Amino acid sequence: MKFKFIWIGRTKSAYLSQGINDYVNRLKHYAQIEIKEIKPKNKSSEISTLKETQRLEKSLTTGEYHIALDEKGKLFSTEALAKFLAELPKRGHKTITFFIGGPFGLEPKFLRKVDFVLSLSPLTFTHEMARIILLEQLYRVLTIWQGEKYHK
C-alpha cells in the first residue's frame, strides 16, 4: 500500500516539522510514503486558493483514491477510519492520496472532484497541524491493522 500526501506550502514550524518527520519514518515501516509540497501562489485568499486548486487538480491520478481534508468532511472515530481505509485496497486502490489545502482551505470545486472528503475534527486546526494529526492517525490505523498496542 502507498500513501501520498499533497499539501500547500512547506511546514514552517520546526516542532511540527520534526513531528511530521517522526511519523513519516514510523509510517515507512508499514507502507510506501510520498509527500509533495505545492508552493503557495499569492497572499490573497481567493486568488491563491483558486490557483492552488488548479495545481492540485493536476495531481488527481487515475486509479488512486483521493481524500481531501476539509472541516465539512465526514468525521470518523479512529477505528471507523481504520475499517474505511482497509476496504480501499480490496476495491483495487493501492494508492491513497490525501490533499491538505493552505491557510484558506480547498476550493469547493476541488472537493467535488475527489473521492472522499474527510474531517479530522469539529475543532479548527492550522493547515500545518492538520498534517501531523493526519499522519499520527494513519500511523494509529496501521498499527490497528497489525494488531499492535499503540492504539489503547
What's the confidence (pLDDT) of residue 44? 59
Residues at the binding site are 69, 101, 120-125
Cell 511540527: give the residue: 16
pTM here? Answer: 0.94
Strands 32-38 and 2-8: parallel
Go through the domains of the chain in sequence order and give each one's CATH number: 2-145 (3.40.1280.10)
What's the confidence (pLDDT) of residue 43? 65
Q: What pLDDT digit, counting tens, does each position of 53-86 carry?
A: 888 999 999 999 999 999 999 999 999 999 999 9
What's the confidence (pLDDT) of residue 100? 95
Which runs of E-coded beta strand occur in 9-150? 32-38, 65-74, 95-100, 116-118
Residues at the binding site for S-adenosyl-L-methionine are 69, 101, 120-125
